[in-house]
Structure 1
Amino acid sequence: MSYALDLRLDDLVAADADSQQAEQAFWPQDLTVLSEHHSGSDRAHSYVVAYDRSITWGVPGQPQIAAIKVARDLDQATFTLDMAYHATVPFAQNWLVERGCPPEPITVLDGDVMRPADDLTMRVEQQIRDSGARYEVLGSWTSGFAPCEAWTLTRDSNSEQAPVRLFLQEGDFDTHSYTVREGAFADEGRARRWLDERSGPLPEPPEYRGEAIAHRARAALIRSVGASALPQSGLDARQAPSIARGQRPGFGRSL
């Protein structure tokens, strides 16, 4: 993990007022680089995901993950700087991908950071990274202490049923890992009441129930006819037992 963020802006001037304002509000010494990618001739474009340590001294609950995009025009000696803050890394990565960053290099995190605890966490994070403009962010919260969690409340433009989606990340210091779960609600008010009360489990999205039914049917079919009688299934005999235990296959590690 790098503690030295150098955006290579020496001898360059801001190309517009927004970039100038962003540079003035920007303190590189407070940022811990989690992932970065540089592209173009003379590495003119930079994309960075970073943890802003200074946020912990500000208003409680503020997002601490910065997504930064820099474009340099070396011929004109100018630059543009755009940045946004997010509660979790996948939303920051999504923001950068939407602005031209290749998805593969920005998903690799450096250093001794917490790692996903299970396949479902990796699947949900990949879903966020690949979502484009699907999720409208309604609010977020970050806590680095007990409980160690961060959540992002969104409106899902792809879902007619339970369109308000909550992405809840919970960290475990003992295992140095974290989980991410997606919850579904009919409206924002119900989602915020759940966050305030935590009176029951996080409601699963309706599509999860469809997947579970399909997996159970698949497992029953494997048990009844045998995996060898299922051509073109994309599954081999080694995967069949895990499906029978209710696990979801095919959600490979993305980080």
Structure 2
Amino acid sequence: MNDGFDFDFDLDELAPADAASEEAVERFWSGDLTALSQHHTTPNGSHSFVVAHDRSVTWGAPGEPQVMAIAVARDLTRFTFTLETSYHATMSFAQNWLVERGCPPEKIAKVHGGFAKPADDLTAWVERQIRESGGRYEVLDNHTSDSDPNESWTLTRDSRAAEAPIRVFHEEWDQDADTYTMREGAFADVDVARSWLDDRSSPLPEPPEYRDDNGAVVRARVARIALARSASVSAPKASLDSPRTPPAGPVQRPVQGRLL
């Protein structure tokens, strides 16, 4: 896995626990992957959770999701393992998928240094909301563009929304600043949401809860995110789980997990 240091799932002495895991191993190749975030359980290393960017997707069909979530569970008493993978348009939905499989959200939220950062506190709050949402959002469609415009969007149905349940999460990257923004839009139905995605002649409509009494809750949560982000700037940076010495090589310029 090309993530700045060697990474091994340590499966050599283990056998696939089921046919799905065996198939996943056979088609899995790490050569085009760049790890963005990862967490490994200790001390026995029974689970591994990884979010990675798959560069090979950029050579395939336009619009396909490029962020891969990888979950490995090892049964060290039976010497077997399960391996699952899933593609997503954004880091936060990939992280959500891993959290649903047992990864602590605060662990997988730590993104590899050197990648694009959230441009503002609202972006960080929306990402956290997605990451910790459980099964709240049913993903209906997504699209990724790494040319003009540099963006991705995920079309979802919000099971908790009393009004405008179709939600669009729109992520846009600023290559010059190495930052990105994430915004949530609310629509009455899928057709209206798709019309906005096709047209873009009006601003992304805010969810009703941003404007009603719950808006104060949203603002308070964003403020807490701002305080935490401010504190983290002055704190020493923590290393990735089990870091290793990076090999010598050219420096690549990353943009939200995409190496250009």
1:132 counterpart = 2:106: no
Aligned partner of 2:235 in structure 1 is none
Aligned partner of 1:251 in structure 2 is 225
Aligned partner of 1:104 in structure 2 is 106
Aligned partner of 2:157 in structure 1 is 155
Instruction: Write the mapping of 1:65-144 to structure 2, written as runs, cut at 5 A.
Output: 65-144=67-146
The runs of at least 4 consecutive aligned structure 1 residues that moved more than 6 Å come to none
- The separation in 1 between residues aligned to 2:213 and 2:146, in whole angstroms, is 33
The residue type equivalent to 2:145 in the other structure is S
Instruction: Write the mapping of 1:16-35 to structure 2, written as runs, cut at 5 A.
Output: 16-35=18-37
Is the partner of 1:42 in helix, strand or coil?
A: coil
Deviations 1:23-59 (A, max 9, x none): 1121111111111111154211111111111111111
Over 3 Å counting, the alpha-carbon distance change for 1:155 and 1:3 in structure 2 is farther
Quote how far apart the aligned CAs of 1:250 are.
2.5
The residue type equivalent to 1:125 in the other structure is E
Deviations 1:40-82 (A, max 9, x none): 5421111111111111111111111111110112332211001
- The separation in 2 between residues aligned to 1:115 and 1:39, in whole angstroms, is 26
- The separation in 2 between residues aligned to 1:43 and 1:130, in whole angstroms, is 24
Q: How many positions carry a matched residue from both structures?
A: 226
Larger Rg: 1
List runs of 5+ in structure 1 lacking aligned partners.
Answer: 219-233, 235-247
The residue type equivalent to 1:54 in the other structure is S
The residue type equivalent to 1:70 in the other structure is V
Aligned partner of 1:207 in structure 2 is 209
> CA contact under 8 A between 1:5 and 1:32: conserved in structure 2?
no
With a CA cutoff of 8 Å and minimum separation of 6, indicate the structure with the bigger relative contact order: 2
Quote how far apart the aligned CAs of 1:188 are.
0.5
Over 3 Å counting, the alpha-carbon distance change for 1:3 and 1:133 in structure 2 is same
- The separation in 2 between residues aligned to 1:187 and 1:150, in whole angstroms, is 20
1:198 to 173, 197, 200: 200
Aligned partner of 1:227 in structure 2 is none
- The separation in 2 between residues aligned to 1:64 and 1:165, in whole angstroms, is 21
- The separation in 2 between residues aligned to 1:152 and 1:3, in whole angstroms, is 31
Over 3 Å counting, the alpha-carbon distance change for 1:175 and 1:27 in structure 2 is same
RMSD (Å), alpha carbons: 2.2
List runs of 5+ in structure 2 lacking aligned partners.
Answer: 233-260
Quote how far apart the aligned CAs of 1:211 are.
5.7
| Identity among equivalent pairs (%) | 56
Over 3 Å counting, the alpha-carbon distance change for 1:3 and 1:50 in structure 2 is farther
Is the partner of 1:170 in helix, strand or coil?
A: strand
The residue type equivalent to 1:159 in the other structure is A
Quote how far apart the aligned CAs of 1:111 are.
2.8
> CA contact under 8 A between 1:23 and 1:81: conserved in structure 2?
yes
Aligned partner of 1:49 in structure 2 is 51
2:180 to 178, 181, 184: 178
- The separation in 1 between residues aligned to 2:19 and 2:163, in whole angstroms, is 42
Name the TM-score, length of structure 1 as normaliser.
0.83
> CA contact under 8 A between 2:209 and 2:215: conserved in structure 1?
no
> CA contact under 8 A between 1:5 and 1:28: conserved in structure 2?
no
Name the TM-score, length of structure 2 as normaliser.
0.81
Deviations 1:128-177 (A, max 9, x none): 01111000000000111111101100000000210000000000001110
